[in-house]
Structure 1
Amino acid sequence: MWTLCATLHAQEISPELKQKIDETAQKVLRETGAPSASVGIVKDGAIVYTTAFGKSRLDINADAMPEMAYAIGSISKQFTAACILLLQEDGKLKLDDPVAKWFPELTRSKDITLRNLLTHTSGYSDYAPQDYTIPEWTKPGDPLKLVHTWAGKPLDFEPGTKWQYSNTNFVLAGLIVEKAGGMKFADFRRQRILEPLHMQHVLDLNTDQARLQVAGYFRNALGPLRKATLEAPGWYFADGDLAMPVEDLLTWDISVMNQTLLKPESYRELTTSFKLKDGADTHYGLGISVGDRNGHHVVSHTGEVGGFVASNSVFPEDKVAIAVLTNQEASSAASAIARGIAGAMLPPGPNAAASPETQAKTILSGLQQGKIDRSIFTGNANFYFNQEALDDFSSSLQPLGEVKSVVKQDESLRGGMTLRSFTVTFAGGKEVRLSTFTTTDGKLEQFLIIP
C-alpha cells in the first residue's frame, strides 16, 4: 500500500482532479516499482496541491513527504541559464559573446557562443551521458579540470549545425557566471534567484548532500531496489546540482509563467526554440525544452542524478505547472505520472495533433473509400495519390474490412524526415506493413502499404 501525505493549499483543486492525480501516481508507482514520488500542481497560477507517495527511505521504512527535498538533476540547467540572462541584463555579458572572452584556451572558443552552450549546439562532448554512476564520479570533482578535459577535445560537430545534449556546456556556463559575476556560482544563483523568489529550502548537492532526507535507488535489470550512489561534490556543478521540495520547484515555475524575476526580453530568450544553421528547429531554448503537448504550449525539462529522476512542465498560457520528483534512477515513473496528470488537467487543445497511429488509421479508412485529405500530404505525395492509386488502394483494402489496429514498429530519421513503420491489422485478420515519411512541418511525404 502506498502511503500518501498531501497538502491542499488556499486555492483547492476539485475532489475529482485530486482523485485522478492520486490514482495516476499510485498506478505508475505500482507498475514501475519506483520507491516514491513527490507531486506538485499549479493551477490558475497558484500552487494548489502537493503530495507524496511511497517511501523516502527503505532501510527505515520512512514515508515520503512533500516537504522533503529531492534531487532535480538537469532541471537545474534553467537556473544556470537564468544566471546568464541576469548578467546580460546587468551589461556584463551577451548571449552571443564567444567563449574565448573567458576561456580562450578551449577548443574553437572563438567560434562558440554562450548561446551555443545554453542550447546544446556548441559541439562540446558530453562528459556525463551515462544513466548510472561511474567510478570517477564517486571521488570529488573539479569543474575547471572537467571543462579543460572535455571542452579541450575536438568538437563533435560544427557549432550551430547540430543539437546534441551535453552537460559539459552548462558546467562551462557556470564557470563563466563566476568570472562575469565576480563571485562563486552558487552564491550568485542564491542571491539573484533563490532568495528573491523566497525558495528557502533548496539544497546544493556540492555542499548539502548530508541534509538530504530522501535516499536514491536503482535496479539491476528487474532485480530488487538497491541504494544508489550520489555523485561526489564537484560533479554536476551548474548542470544538475540542485535538490529541493516540490513546492520550491513550483515557485520557480510560477515565476516563469508570470515573468517576475527576469525582464520580458530575457524570458523570450529563455523559452524561444533555437534554430540550427540549416533552419531546423531544435525545440530547445536556453536550458529548457520548448514544444506543444496535446495542443498546449509547454516549456519543460527532465533531470537525473544518482538515484533520482525528476520531471517539470510549465504550460504558461494555461497557468498550469506539473512537477514530479522520484527517487529511482533510470526510471520512467516521473514522466509517466506527469503525462497522466497533464492529460487529466488539460483536455486536447484546438490545435492538438493526432498521434501517428490515429492519423494513419483515419487515412486508411478514407483510402478504403477512395478518399484522401490532400491538405496533410506534400506535393510529392499528392502526385503519387493520383486517381489510379486511389482506385487501387480502395479496391484492395476495402475487402479486408475495418481497420482494427495500427501499431508502430519502428521510428528513425532519414533525409531530414521522420520514418515510421507500422503493422496494420484489419477486421478479417489480414496484416500489412505501412511505411510513412513525415516532414518537419508535419506533412506526409510518403504513405505506402507493403504486403
Structure 2
Amino acid sequence: MMKRTLIAILSAFFFQIALPQNPSAEFDSLMTKVFKADEAGAVALVVKNGKVLYRKAFGMANMELGVKMKPENVFRIGSITKQFTASAILKLRDEGKLSLDDDITKYIADYPTHGHQITIKHLLTHTSGIKSYTGMETWDAEVRKKDFTPMELIDFFKDQPMDFDPGEEWRYNNSAYFILGHIIEVVSGTTYETYIDSNFFKPLKMSNSYYGSPSRIIKDRAYGYDKRDGELINADFLSMTQPYAAGSLLSTVDDLYKWYSSVMEDKVISKASRIEAQSTYQLNNGEKTGYGYGWGVGNVQGSPMISHGGGINGYLTSSIFLPEEKLFVAVFSNCNCNSPGDIATKMAAMAIGKPFSWKPITLPEDVMRSYEAVYGPDKKNQRIITFEDGQLFSMRTGGSKFKISPFEKDKFFFEGGGVTTLHFIRDANNTIASVTAKGTGYDMDLERTELPIPTLTKIELDASVTDTYLGKYELAPNFIITIFKEDDTIFAQATGQGKNEIIPFEENKFSLVNADIKLTFNKDENGEVNSLTLHQGGDHEAKKVE
C-alpha cells in the first residue's frame, strides 16, 4: 500500500514573510484567467486575522437576465454542508444524546450491515463501506427529479452490496452523510432543516444561509450552469430532498466566514470535539486518510489547513482555513465547468507569503533520463516517468500525461499551474530510489521499480469497423462520452471536457493518447455495438444511447 508521511511544517520563526505588494492584483489575475465577464461567474473572499484582504465578484449571476455577480450572491455550497452535519452530530454527542460508537442499527433497526458493525464514526469519516447512492446506475436523471423522505432514499440504497468492510478503506460517501441527517432527526426530534437553522444559522447570524429549495424565493440567489459540448446551459434539476445532509445547504462567502470563525472560536461545538473533528482519521491498518469529521486535513506550503469543497448541479465551491495564520479563503462558482479549488489554494499561499511559484532550471540530459522509470509495484497505483523529446512527463495510473520541469535537482513542478511537486529521493549510493508527491495533503511516496515502461502498439482498423463505434455513450446521468471522427482521427469527448484522440491496440480496444485510460467497445448477441467500458480507476460501463 502506498506509504504516506506527513509533510514537515516549515519554520518561519527567524524571518518575516511578506505579502505581495499588491495582493488584490495577484488575486484578480487568478480569477480572471478562469471566470470571464460574460459567462457564469464566481465570488472570492480572503480574510486574515479578521481583516478582509479581498472580496470580489466576477462574471454573471444570471446569464439570461444579464445580472452581474456580486459578493452577496447566494450559492449552493454542495458538500461543504457536511461540516454542518458533522457539527450537528458532535453537538448532540457533546450534549450526551448519542455516541460516535453507536451502531447505525440503533437508529435504523432494519439496516442490512452484512454482519459488520457500522458506527456513526464510520459514517463521519467515509469509511463505512456503504454504497454511495450518487454512484449508483439507478440514480438517473428521472430519479433525481423526485422528492424523497429521508427513509425513502435510505431504502433506495440500503440493499446495495457494501464496497468494503468498515474501516478498511476511505471512499467519499454521500449515503453516509445522508444517514447522519436521519440520525440527527431521530435524536433531536426535529427535521434536519430546522435543526441546522435553529442551532447554527440563527445563533451565528448567518442570515443569508438556507436549506435548499427550488421554489422558495431567495434574495440574491446565483443561478447554476453547466457546460456541454462547449456550450453553457442551465444546470439540470435536482430535488433538494436528495442531497439533504450531504449537500443541501445554500450560503454566501460572508456567511461561511462567520461559520468557520465560530467553529474555530469553539462557539459551535466543544473544543475537544473540534480538535477531534479536524484531525485525520486512521484506517484499521493505521493509514491516515487526510479527513476528519466533515473537514479535510492538509497543508498549504507547510502551513496546517482544514478545508472542504462542494460540487452540486450548477455549482462548485471551495473553502480553506489556516489556523496558525487565522486565514480564511472561499471561492464559490455558479458553474460545474470551473473548479475553484486550485484558485483558493493559491490565494491562501499568496496571502501567507508562500506563493506556488517555481522557476525552471536546465539539467543535463543524462540526469533527466535518470528519473525515467515506473514507480510503485501496484499497477493500480503507479506513477510513470518518461523522457520524450528532451522533456520529462509524469502519468499516474488512470490519469493523463503531464509535462514536469525541474526547479532544483531532483525537484519538479507540473507545467500548467498546479500546486503539486515531485521530489525524487536518492539512496546512500546516490541512486534514485523513490518519488514523493507533495501537495496540499499527505506526502505520497512510491518506490522505484524495475518494471518496464508500458507501451502500446497502434493497429490499423478499417473504417467499416471504427464507424460502428461512433456515437454517444451514457456513463452516468447527464455524463456522456461521445466517440467521433475528424478526418481519419478518432476522438473521445466526455461531458464538459475537451476532446482526446484515441488509438486502437486491439480490434475493440482503444487507448487515449497521452493518458492511462482505455476503452473497450462491447457488442450484443446480434453483433451490434451497444456499450463501451471505461477502464479508469476500475471498469465502468456506458450504454450506447445514440
CA contact (8 A) 1:28 1:337 kept: no
Instruction: Identify if the C-alpha distance between structure 1 residues 133 and 34 changes in structure 2 by more than 3 Å, giving closer, same or farther.
Output: farther
Give the one of 153, 157, 160 matched to 2:160: 153
Residues of 2 paired with 1:192 and 1:208: CA distance?
Answer: 24
1:328 aligns with 2:335: yes
State the alpha-carbon separation in 2 of the partners of residues 15 and 54 from structure 1: 26
Asked if 1 retains the 8 angstrom alpha-carbon contact of 2:385 and 2:392, the reply is no
2:128 is equivalent to residue 122 of structure 1: yes
Residue of structure 2 in register with 1:77 after alignment: 82
Partner of residue 385, structure 2: 422
Contact 1:435 1:448 in 2 (8 A): no
Within the candidate set 98, 103, 114, 1:98 is matched to: 103
1:245 CA drift (Å): 1.4
Deviation of the 1:210 alpha carbon: 3.8
1:133 Cα deviation after fit:
7.4
Are residue 236 (structure 1) and residue 243 (structure 2) matched?
A: yes
Specify whether residues 88 and 448 from structure 1 end up closer, same or farther in structure 2 by C-alpha distance, changes over 3 A only: same
- Please give the per-residue CA displacement for 1:95-124, whole angstroms capped at 9, x wherever unaligned: 111111111211218610001011111111
Secondary structure in 2 matching 1:239: helix
Q: 2:210 aligns with which of 186, 195, 203?
A: 203
Q: Say which is worse superposed, 280-289 or 430-439, in terms of deviation.
A: 430-439
| Rounded Cα–Cα distance in structure 2 between residues aligned with 1:23 and 1:444 | 35
CA distance in 2, matches of 1:325, 1:29: 11
Task: Note closer, same or farther for the CA distance 1:149–1:414 as it changes in structure 2 (3 Å cut).
Answer: farther
Give matches, 1:15-414, under 5 Å: 16-30=22-36, 35-108=40-113, 111-129=117-135, 134-206=141-213, 209-211=216-218, 213-222=221-230, 224-329=231-336, 331-348=337-354, 400=365, 403=368
Decide whether the 8 Å contact of 2:377 with 2:449 is kept in 1. no
Distance 1:187 1:100, change over 3 A: same
Residue 343 of structure 1: how far off its partner (Å): 3.0
Bigger mean CA deviation after superposition, 109-118 or 293-302:
109-118
Q: How many angstroms apart in 1 are the aligned matches of 2:380 and 2:236?
A: 40
Code of the residue aligned with 2:86 in structure 1: it is A
Shift of 1:239: 0.7
User: Aligned equivalents of 1:268 and 1:146: distance in 2?
Assistant: 32
Q: Deviations over 1:145-191 (max 9, x none)?
A: 11122123221111111111111111110010011111111111112
Contact 2:44-2:56 at 8 Å conserved across structures: yes
Q: CA separation in 2, counterparts of 1:338 and 1:130? A: 31
Q: Flag structure 1 segments of 5+ consecutive residues without an equivalent.
A: 1-12, 366-397
Relative to its length, the structure with more helix (as a share) is 1
> Which amino acid counterpart does residue 152 of structure 1 have in structure 2?
D
Q: Distance in 1 between matches of 2:387 and 2:433?
A: 10
**1:295–1:417: structure 2 CA closer, same or farther, 3 Å change rule?**
farther
Cα distance change, pair 232–210 in 1 and its aligned pair in 2 (3 A): farther
* Superposed displacement of residue 230, structure 1: 3.5
Q: Does the aligned pair in 1 maintain the 2:20–2:353 contact within 8 Å? A: no
Give the Cα–Cα distance (whole angstroms) in 1 for the partners of residues 243 and 72 of structure 2: 23
**Kept after mapping to 1: 8 A contact 2:225/2:234:** yes
Deviation of 1:235 (Å): 1.3
8 Å Cα contact 2:126-2:170 kept in structure 1: yes
User: What is the match of residue 446 of structure 1?
Assistant: 448
Alpha-carbon separation, structure 2, partners of 1:430 and 1:340: 26
Quote how far apart the aligned CAs of 1:50 are. Answer: 2.1
Q: Which runs of 4+ in 1 moved over 3 A?
A: 45-49, 129-133, 206-210, 400-408, 413-418, 429-444, 447-451
Bigger RCO of structures 1 and 2 (CA < 8 A, at least 6 apart): 1
Instruction: Tell me the matched-pair count.
Output: 391
1:303 alignment partner, SS class: strand
Deviation of 1:303 after TM superposition, in Å, equals: 0.6
The Cα shift of 1:197 comes to 1.4
What CA distance in whole angstroms lies between the structure 1 residues aligned with 2:257 and 2:85? 17
Letter in 1 for 2:300: R
Report the Cα offset of residue 407 of structure 1. 10
- Structure 1 pair 152–259 and aligned structure 2 pair: CA distance change class (3 A): same
1:297-348 deviations in whole A, cap 9, x for unaligned? Answer: 111111111111111111112211111110112x343113213312321344
Change (3 A) 1:441 1:279: farther
Q: Deviations over 1:31-79 (max 9, x none)?
A: 9x96100111121144443211110011011000111101100000010
User: Counterparts of 1:283 and 1:83 in 2: how far apart (Å)?
Assistant: 21
Offset at residue 420 of structure 1 (A): 1.1
Report the counterpart of residue 502 of structure 2 in structure 1. none
CA-CA distance at 1:236 after TM superposition = 0.8
How far the C-alpha of 1:255 sits from its partner, in A, is 2.1
Same amino acid, percent of matched pairs: 28
Contact 2:39 2:60 in 1 (8 A): no
- Give the direction of change, closer, same or farther, for the CA distance of 1:208–1:296 in structure 2 (3 Å limit): farther
2-side partners of 1:295 and 1:174: how far apart? 34
CA 1:401–1:438: 2 relative to 1, 3 Å? closer
Aligned counterparts of 1:417 and 1:218: Cα–Cα separation in 2: 31
Distance 1:324 1:34, change over 3 A: farther
- Partner Cα separation in structure 1 for residue 39 and residue 290 of structure 2: 29
TM-score, scaled relative to structure 1: 0.77
User: Could you say what secondary structure the match of 1:261 adopts?
Assistant: coil
Structural RMSD (CA): 3.6
3-state secondary structure, aligned to 2:180: helix
CA contact (8 A) 1:417 1:437 kept: no
User: 1:266, 1:233 → 2: CA distance?
Assistant: 29
